[in-house]
Amino acid sequence: MRRLFGSVRARATVAATLVVAVALLAAGTAVLLSLRSNLIGEAGTRAERSARAVASELAAGTPYKDLSGLDGDDGPVQVVDEDGRLVAATEDLERISGTGITDVTPAPSATERNEDREDREDREDLEDRGDGGSDDSDSSDEGGDGDDDDHRERLEPGEIAPETDFTNGSATLDGDTEDYRFAEVEVETKDRGRLTVHAGAALSAERSAVNTALTGMLIGFPVLLAVVAGVTWLVTGRALRPVEGIRREMAAITASEDLARRVPEPATHDEIARLARTTNETLAALEASVERQRRFVADASHELRSPIASLRTQLEVAAAHPELLDLDGAVHDTVRLQQLAADLLLLARLDAGEKPAGTPVDLAALAREESAGRTGVAVDAEPVEVAGSRGQLGRLLANLLDNAQRHARETVTVTVRREGGRAVLGVADDGEGVPEADRERIFERFVRLDAARSRDDGGAGLGLAIARDVAVRHGGTLTVGDAPAGGALFELRLPVVGDDRRDN
């Protein structure tokens, strides 16, 4: 299990599936709630329509027994008078809840009283008598205006209240029990006072639709998640296929140690293609570094072979013929061998990334010190301090002076000056100079220009390479150009101690 989820492909698939699952859950919940709300609203509309149809018949004076909404086709209906008594109800209504009136059978006394009132022959006499008491009635109405207005809207006879109240409940009709959405509408009648109509619309369609949608989601969502997981798995595998190719090729390169091989680069322009290109660039740099090390070892072996062979020959001759011993030549070869070993050791330390010391070094004093005792060397220097290793900087200057004296006709000039936040040390000679095409090549290791250098003149082609490496390790640069006298001018530029702001 740990190995499975250690795969980027598996983690991407699980993450995508979880995200889609959360989105589907949220969307499904929203759909179900919206569907339920819409269907309940639709049921409420049907219930209100039924209630207002019954209220219209009541406002028109239709007797209770002739109300068309009591047949139960559109749902249960209850008609309640001002005293809260059930005066009419749907046929076959066995049980009801949610309307506030649990009675299912109209009160006989109330029904008979209202029907008798409709058939009373002396109605006009009663109205005439009511004229005399109209003041009392009006005063009573006026006195009760506050309570009536506070609790319900005043309606004229035959008028239906515009407001509708809704509740949820259940009812049993002819043995069938269902949930209903009830609408409550008030109507003011001419002869029966204020009546309240409760009409219900079945919620079975809403429940059925919600259950159908829920069932569809419970079946469809897992299938959709499986499709998402499968597609993500395939797409991720296809996207990561080049990475696997890169991994296999890198494993083969590691096993074969063949740095000339390269990983395949996809024809795309995405991150994986850039990874492949960067990997190939790294392999190329590594191959060049290894090749440079191999050449270095081969050149070092070649350079060491010559003085060692010469020294061995002299010692063998001296052993056989002591009178023929060339002591000066033996000492010269030994010194040359010692210098070469020292150069190789310094290069090894520089390649290992050894950081120079950060002690202040006065370049002017160093230039005078290294130039002392050298023939034809002139110094023009102003005091400038840099941070670094005095020994390595002295070696750099000594190598530049050795090179300049080897190629100068008469004079070598050493200058030290300050330019902004940089110290500039120049070594110029009046020789033939360095051709522009060779001005970078001379800083490579074991490189000699055929026209100017030979092994017999001294030097193994490491002096300038060491000088540049020391300059780079000290945060500076070493370049070669044309000297004013026509020869070569080597310029070393290093940061001045405590004055980095002048570089900006």
Summarize pLDDT for 424-467 with one digit per residue, the tens: 999 999 988 899 888 888 888 777 665 444 444 545 678 888 89
**CATH code of 429's domain:** 3.30.565.10
Whether residues 483 and 427 share a domain: the answer is: yes
Whether residues 91 and 210 share a domain: the answer is: yes
Is 487 inside any structural domain? yes
Is 349 inside any structural domain? no
Is 432 inside any structural domain? yes
Domain extent for 300: 271-338
Q: Which H/E stretch holds residue 405? A: helix 390-407
Q: Which regions of the chain are under pLDDT 70?
A: 1-6, 108-153, 302, 353, 448-460, 499-504
Any long-range contacts for 430-435 (C-beta under 8 Å, 24+ apart)?
Answer: 430/483, 430/485, 430/486, 430/487, 431/404, 431/407, 431/487, 431/488, 432/407, 432/487, 433/482, 433/483, 433/486, 433/487, 433/488, 434/480, 434/488
Whether residues 213 and 253 share a domain: the answer is: yes
The span from the CA of 465 to the CA of 461, in Å, is 8
Which residue, 257, 282, 301, sits at the end of a domain? 257
Residue in the structure block whose two tokens are 């290791």: 445
Is 306 inside any structural domain? yes
Per residue, what are the HEC states of 278-339?
HHHHHHHHHHHHHHHHHHHHHHHHHHHHHHHHHHHHHHHHHHHCHHHCCHHHHHHHHHHHHH
Is 173 inside any structural domain? yes
pLDDT value for 429 = 92
Q: Which H/E stretch holds residue 10? A: helix 8-59
Total domains in the fold of the chain? 3
The span from the CA of 472 to the CA of 419, in Å, is 19
Q: Which H/E stretch holds residue 93? A: strand 93-97
Whether residues 201 and 325 share a domain: the answer is: no
Which residue, 226, 257, 288, sits at the end of a domain? 257
Which residue, 257, 284, 316, sits at the end of a domain? 257
Whether residues 85 and 17 share a domain: the answer is: yes
Annotate 96-119 with b (16+ C-beta within 10 A) or e (fewer). bbbbebeebebeeebbeebeeeee
pLDDT value for 297 = 75
Whether residues 216 and 323 share a domain: the answer is: no
Q: How many CA atoms lie within 13 A of 335 on its CB side?
A: 8
Number of H helices, E strands in the chain: 12, 13
The span from the CA of 308 to the CA of 336, in Å, is 10
- Side chain identity at 112, as an amino acid letter? E
Q: Is 75 helix (H, G, I), strand (E, B) or coil?
A: coil
Give the Cβ contact number of residue 487 at 10 Å.
21
Whether residues 436 and 460 share a domain: the answer is: yes
User: Is 70 buried (19+), middle (13-18) or exposed (0-12) by CB count in 10 A?
Assistant: buried
Whether residues 307 and 372 share a domain: the answer is: no
Whether residues 426 and 321 share a domain: the answer is: no
Is 352 inside any structural domain? no
Is 405 inside any structural domain? yes
DSSP state of 14: H
CA 3 vs CA 8, 9, 16, 178, 275: distances in Å: 11, 12, 19, 56, 24
Q: Let me know how long the chain is.
A: 504
Question: What are φ and ψ of residue 346, in 5° steps?
Answer: -65, -45
Q: What does the DSSP assignment read for 196-255?
A: EEEEEEE-HHHHHHHHHHHHHHHHHHHHHHHHHHHHHHHHHHHHHHHHHHHHHHHHHHHH
Whether residues 459 and 324 share a domain: the answer is: no
DSSP state of 397: H
Q: Name residues whose C-beta falls within 8 Å of residue 376's C-beta, 6 or more positions apart in sequence.
A: 405, 408, 410, 411, 412
Contact 467, 478 (CB under 8 A): yes
Give, to the nearest 10 degrees, the angle between helix 204-256 and helix 8-59: 170
Which of 273, 474, 462 is closest to 389 using CA atoms?
474
Contact 487, 433 (CB under 8 A): yes
Is 431 inside any structural domain? yes
Whether residues 7 and 72 share a domain: the answer is: yes
Given CA atoms 419, 422, 423, 424 in this order, what sign does their dihedral have? negative
Residue in the structure block whose two tokens are 């005063």: 139
Contact 494, 475 (CB under 8 A): yes
pLDDT value for 450 = 52
Whether residues 332 and 292 share a domain: the answer is: yes
Given CA atoms 123, 125, 129, 131 in this order, what sign does their dihedral have? positive
Q: Can you name the residues that pair with 196 across neighbouring β-strands?
A: 80, 186
